[in-house]
Amino acid sequence: MISKLSYLSESAIFRDLSPEEREWVTSIGTTATYEPGKVFYTPEEPREALFLLREGKARIYTFSPEGEKQEIAPISPGTLFGEMPLIGARMHTNFAEAVEACTVWIINRNDLERILLDKPRVALRFLETLGKQLMELEARLEDIAFKTIPARLASLLLRLMEEHGPTIVGYAHQDLAEMIGTYRETTTQTLGQFKRQGLLTIGRKRLEILNPDGLREIAEG
């Protein structure tokens, strides 16, 4: 287990803080673990808290009008997420759940008020990070709302390629379908089209991107 102080020293959010500021931040909030499939919050059971993922993998998702699960954003270590009306980060229709076993740092409303009042420089880093992530979230929601399925899938594959390189491993067709808000069968058909176009090869939970420019043309079309 990574110590909180060690983690804060390595996290991009806190890296440029002074040792004294990092030491102070470690006194704020609590640490918790979540097993795969456990939810952090739901629309019916919101939590007025921010979460910082320290270890593991999680995701934010919603449901389409047809009842299909739609992943809005993956959550990787170092990501802040959560429901916090105090700073306008309220997502009324979203769910957040652990994909893998997760360790999170939980900052409740009272903790955040302490940060805002006592350490404005720390608070500014929180707000900058959340603002950037909310903009990315809006862009993904626009993709789901306005782009065709091939364009959404091409955009997703390009994002995954940026994170993992041209060989993308560990994603089943159902995972990809949930990430773009469609059915598994539709995703499989679209991947088949991309394969016939020479854009990628398909294996078991493995995709090899062969023509990123071709995918980019579809994503922007």
* pLDDT tens profile 71-82: 888 888 888 888
Whether pLDDT at 37 is above 80: yes
Spans of all domains in the chain? 4-145, 147-220
Higher per-residue pLDDT: 10 or 157: 157
The sign of the dihedral angle between the CA atoms of 209, 203, 162, 197 is positive
Residue 9: what pLDDT? 59
Which CATH number does the domain 147-220 belong to among 3.30.70.270, 3.40.50.300, 1.10.579.10, 1.10.10.10?
A: 1.10.10.10
Token pair of 183, please? 């059915």
- CA distances in angstroms from 13 to 2, 66, 122, 132, 197, listed in the order given: 16, 38, 9, 12, 41
Report the Cα–Cα distance between both ends of the chain, in Å, rounded: 45
Token readout for 8 is 């804060």
pLDDT: which is higher, 20 or 154: 154
pLDDT at 59 over 60: yes
If we measure between CA atoms, which residue out of 126, 96, 97 comes closest to residue 111?
126
CA 221/CA 210 separation, integer angstroms: 19
pLDDT at 89: 53
53, two tokens: 């993922």
Whether the Cβ atoms of residue 22 and residue 9 lie closer than 8 Å to each other: yes
DSSP letter at 95 equals E
Q: What is the CATH code of the structural domain delimited by 4-145?
A: 2.60.120.10
Output the pLDDT for position 197: 97
pTM score, whole prediction: 0.69
Which tens digit of pLDDT belongs to each residue from 83-138?
665 555 555 578 999 999 999 989 888 888 888 788 787 778 777 877 777 777 77
pLDDT at 20: 81
**CA-based angle 131:33:40, to the nearest 5?**
50
With a pLDDT cut of 90, the percent of the chain lying above it is 38
pLDDT above 90 (res 26) = no
Task: For residues 46-60, give the mean pLDDT.
Answer: 88
Q: Pick 65 or 202 by higher pLDDT.
A: 202
State the average pLDDT over residues 177-200: 94
Mean pLDDT of the chain: 84
Q: What's the rounded Cα separation, in Å, for the pair 48 and 108?
A: 6
